[in-house]
Structures are given as C-alpha cells and as structure tokens.
Amino acid sequence: MSLILLGSCSKNQSEDASTTNYYSKEIDKGRDIYNNNPAKGIHYLDSVLAQHKNIGTANLFEAYELYCTYYYRVHVNYDKAMRYADSMLNIIQKSGNIKAYAKQLGICYFSKGDIYFATGHFPEAYQNYYLGKVTGKNNFDNCTLADYSYRMGMIMYKQAHFSIAANYFKESFAESTNCTMNFVTFYRMQELLDNTAISYNKAGLSDSALVYFDRTLVYLKHEGPKYNERADLIEVAKAVVYGNLGQLYIAKGDYIKAEDLLKKSIAINLKKGNDNRDAELSELKLANIYTKNNDPGLLDLLTDIRAQLDSVKNPDAEVEWNHLMANYYERQNELKKALHYFDEYDLLKDSVAKTTQKLKESDVNQQFKDLENQSTINNLKTDNQLKQNYLTVALIYSVMALIIILLIFLNWRRSKASIKDLSRLNAQVLQQKDILEQAFKELEVADKEKDRILRAVAHDLRNPIGGIASLTALMLMEEMDTEQKELLELIQSATNNSLELINEILEVTGNTSLNTGKKQMVDINTLLSNSIELLRFKAAEKNQKIKLETLETPEELFINREKIWRVMSNLISNAIKFSPQGSDIYVKVINEGDNILISVTDHGIGIPDNIKNQVFNMFTQAKRAGTAGEPSFGLGLSISKQIVESHGGEIWFKSEPGNGTTFYIRLKKAVS
C-alpha cells in the first residue's frame, strides 16, 4: 500500500548558519544518492560523518534517520535500526532544547514504533505512536499528527477494520495539507487517497472506492507535473492505482476493463527499478481472470511470475501463486501436481496467518485509551499539586486579612464611645455577610468537589472492575463444572453492568465531555455502517439482526464523529436491549433537503404512556430492564439528547406499548 521516500525534516535555526548550510548540502546529497541507490547513499554518509565531527543536532539527526530507514527497510536489520532510532532520541535530549526539535522528536517516536511493530512488540509500538501523537498535538504540528493518523490507518487495515482505516487515511490527508509541500509530501498524499480507496473496496463500499481511485488519478495528473524530475516515480504511483482499480472491476465482474487496467499496471512496474512487487501482485490478479475465463495463456503467465518471485521475494504473492497453480493442475486432472501445490499453499498461508494473528488479537483502541488515561492521571496529579500551592498562598493571605481586620476593630474600640455601639453592629453585619458569602462559596466548592470525587471514584473503580471482567472472561474459557460456570457468568454480568454504569457516570459528570468538540466532514453512510458493525455481535447474542438502509448518494455532515457515533450506538444498543430474541432492528437514513433524518426502529416492548415524558431526563426513573434482564441506568438518552442538540439537531421518538419504538434524529447538512 505504500512506497517510502526520504525527505528533509525541518532544521533548528539557532545553529551556526554557515556550518548548518554546509552539512545540509552534504546530507541532502547523500539523501539524493540514497533514493537512487540506498547502499551508495549510506556509504557517502559514512565518509561525511568520518571526516567531520562537529555536525549540528539537526543535521546529525537527519543522517541517523537515514541510517535507521536503511537498516529498517533495505537490510531488515531491526536491531541496528533501533540503535539508530535510540541515537536520534539521544541527540535531541542532549540538545537541551527539546521543544525546538518537536518535529524531529515525533519522527523519532514513530520510527521506534515502526520497529517495535515490525518485530511484533505491539504494546511498545502503540506507546511510541502515542508519544509521537502527543508531541505533534502539544506543538500544533499537523504534519506529525498526519504521520500518526497514517500509522493508525495501516494498523486498522491490517486488523481488517477497513472502514475505520479509510477514515484515518482521510484524516491524515487533511492534516497533510498543512505540511511543507514537496515531492515527499505530494507522494504521501496520493498514497493516502489510494489507501482510502483500497480500504473502502475491502469494506465492500465499491462506489466510494471508485470515487477515491478517480481522485487519486486526478491528483497525480494535476500535481504531478510540478515534479517532472521524479516522473518515473509518478508513473509507478499511477501503475499501483491501475492495479488496485483492476481488483475493483474483478469484484464487479467487469473482466475486460480489469484486464486492460492490470496490463497497463504490469507494463510500468515490471520495468527495472520500478515497483516489481506490485507488478507481481497485478500479474496474479490477471492470472485469476485467466483462470475464470480458461485462458490458454494462464500457464505461461504463471511461469513468468515464478521466475520473478525467485529474484524478487514476495510472501503474499507466493501464497496466491501456489493457489493458482493448484487450481490449474486440478482442472487439468493432474491431481498429484495439484496436491503438491495445495500443500505448499496451505503451508505458506498458515505461515502468513501466524504473523498477523498476534496483531489482530491486540486491542489497539484499548491500549491507546490506557495511555491517555495514564497521561490524564499524571496531569491531574500536577494540577492537584498546583492547587495545593495556591490554597496555601490563599490561606496565608486570609490570615493576614484577619489580622488586619482585628487591628482595625481594636482601633475602633479605642475611638469615641458614641460610635461604639454602631461599630459593633457594623462589625456584626459584616461578619454575617462574610459568613453567608463563605457559605455560598463552600456550597459551590462542595458541588464541584462532589463531581470530582464521583469522577475519581468511578475512574479508580473502572480499572479493577475491568480487570475482574477480563479475568472472568479468561476463566470462562477453561473447562469447569456447571455450577462454577454459572457463578462466573454472574460475576461477568455484574462487572459488565458496573463498567457500563461507571462509563455513563464519568461522561455525565465531565465538564466538557458533552460539548460538541472538534467537528469535521463525516460520511454519514460510513459512520452508521461502522456503528452497526461494532454492535452486530451484541445483537447476535439475542439472535437479532440489524438492517441498514443508507443514502443512495453519500452525504457528508459537519459533525463530531465520536459524539454522533456515541448517540447511534446508544440508540441501537437500546433497541437490542428492549427487543425480543430473534427480532430485526432497522436503521434508515433519509435525505430531507437541508436535513438528514436517521431512524432506529425496533419491534420490542415499547414505552408506556406514563413515562414517555421522562425518558430524556438525567437519572430518569423511567429506566426498565431489557427483555433478557439487561440493566438500565437512565443516563444514555439524556446524554444523546444533549449531544444532538449541541449539533443544532433534534431527537424524538414514537412508541406503542408492546408494538416497538422508533427514535428519530434530524441533523442539518453542512452549508456549502
């Protein structure tokens, strides 16, 4: 899905200008040599570093970055690559001005994360990706954030979360528009468009995929002429898109168009120095067409691919080649040869599957949440210390103020006897006023402290209860007698219900959690598809099906993706909870001109008339148990209503007791 190019990172302006310019030219020359011949480029840098010892921080960082990339991508020597990544971090830390090298620091964390990811150390990889994200966020560096979104997209793609991957690639493209525009940025942006299209295609959204493939080709056509000196690589990029488009038309059954695109791709990328691996994959796609059409040229094509695989290794292509050979000989009724290639196919397929299984089993979202939670805890500790310091200062000033008041009072007592009574009355009035004001302030503080304590308690309870839920799930996987299993299932149900309540308490007591937050253009069809996909397993537990009817023409709304996602998940979860076993749930999107109307319909127990006016109240007394005894906490619909109204929308429902319920959401379209 990608072709890595090396570009120059930003340099620190505080270093001596003449020295920096000299070494910059030397390292730029080494990079240019590297892009054409990596080994020669590294040899040139060796000579530069050997002859010159006083290279500045920014230039030395660029040299180490080149070494790190070389051992990571060309030699696949992860130990050496990690040593250079650690050296990159070390020279930034020694500079004494880390903030000035925020861009380089982000690159360093992402490089370490890539190496950990390649070696299967996923927790360490996610931690470094998170640090890279924080570096970019704290320094308002959208280029670093674009690198983070790109990596998250690649992780989601490899975990087969294709719709989520597409959203990350689109986000990375938008963030990349703020980067310094050069050939490296241009090439990454066309890759992001192509990756978005591939992800949509994998997700079964072929129309959206076709739109983004066309956008990629248009982008290459319009922006490519600005970089005529790299015309060869631009042709390679076009060839990659042709090959991916060919796969889309194969899925549509348009083999003529697919064959034409694949042949165009192969003709370009089979050339020496071009992307031969992509050419092999395109040839295998072409071989699949030949297989379906019983084309007599199939064996010759497979023979050519075999020769290429012997010189350019490609594990994924190797698996597919053996599969096609087995199918070919099976059709020729040469079963012995077919069996041989089937055995090779199974062996290679299992080997490739093992390398991705660990990645698919890792919960990247949970690990990033844990990292964010830990960061939040550290920030709270720092804020708490500052508040204690401020409180100490305030107490000192309060004592001083009391002393001053006492001195004034004593002075008044020494004044004329005629005003003694009046002074006493005035003092009493002032004292009562102070007491009332203090009491009011204490009430305000107590209210805020109550929310803080509630959040803190809920937050502290979430981790141990989550741990209990995880351990219970693991124990349920073991063999045991029926009584033990029933007890564990009760524990698991109780912990899951507790976690759900804790999460809703955290959200409803947060200061800003229900605000609209950051908005962006979001495809409503994709958002609903993602929401439903994540809840299908929950519906399956009650043998229910969720049916979605999307807009014929994709429509993007200017909304906060996560907030509206939460609203949809809440409504669909309620439909599952209050519907009987084996029923269907319908989600529908309707175009209403200036608005989009979304409905969630179930055929469940409905809402009684006497509690209809209470369902949107916070901590409502209208909460009821689900059809399978699921608990309800009375917070979800209140939170959903606040989120929808903060977007300028409206939410309502229609329900008949015993005949189901339909919830409606109306959101405004973005003003063009």
pLDDT, tens only, 291-330: 988 888 889 998 988 988 888 777 788 889 999 998 989 8
Average pLDDT over all residues of the chain: 81
Amino acid occupying residue 7: G
Give the three-class secondary structure for 278.
helix
Task: Round to whole Å and give the CA distance between 339 and 325.
Answer: 10
Nearest residue to 322 (alpha-carbon basis) of 348, 300, 291: 348
**Domain residue ranges in the chain:** 364-509, 520-668
Give the three-class secondary structure for 75.
coil
Q: Which residue has the higher pLDDT, 469 or 460?
A: 469
CATH of domain 520-668: 3.30.565.10
Q: For the residues 540-558, what does the mean pLDDT come to?
A: 90
Which pLDDT value is given to residue 339?
Answer: 92
Q: For the residues 256-284, what does the mean pLDDT come to?
A: 90
Task: Round to whole Å and give the CA distance between 672 and 669.
Answer: 9
Residues 567 and 640 sit within 8 Å (Cβ to Cβ): yes
Task: Summarize pLDDT for 129-168 with one digit per residue, the tens.
Answer: 888 777 766 665 667 788 888 888 888 888 788 898 899 8
Which pLDDT value is given to residue 83?
Answer: 93
Distances in whole angstroms, Cα of residue 322 to Cα of each of 290, 342, 346, 356: 15, 7, 9, 20
Weakest-pLDDT range from 53-62, 338-347, 542-551: 53-62
Range from 103-107, 500-504, 594-598 that averages highest in pLDDT: 594-598
Task: Summarize pLDDT for 159-211 with one digit per residue, the tens.
Answer: 788 898 899 899 999 988 888 888 888 998 999 999 999 999 999 999 999 99
Residues 360 and 160 sit within 8 Å (Cβ to Cβ): yes
Which pLDDT value is given to residue 14?
Answer: 43
| Percentage of the residues of the chain whose pLDDT score is greater than 70 | 80
Q: Which residue has the higher pLDDT, 453 or 641?
A: 641
| Edge-to-edge order in the sheet of strand 545-549 | 545-549, 584-592, 595-601, 661-668, 650-655
Which pLDDT value is given to residue 490?
Answer: 65
Which pLDDT value is given to residue 8?
Answer: 45
What's the pTM? 0.51
Q: For the residues 420-440, what does the mean pLDDT come to?
A: 77
CATH of domain 364-509: 1.10.287.130
Residues 383 and 350 sit within 8 Å (Cβ to Cβ): no
Indicate the pLDDT class of residue 97, thresholds 50, 70 and 90.
confident
Q: For the residues 478-506, what does the mean pLDDT come to?
A: 71
Has residue 65 got a pLDDT over 60?
yes
What is the helix (H) or strand (E) element at residue 185, kind and residue range?
A: helix 183-202
Task: Summarize pLDDT for 632-650 with one digit per residue, the tens.
Answer: 666 778 888 989 998 999 9
Residues 78 and 119 sit within 8 Å (Cβ to Cβ): yes
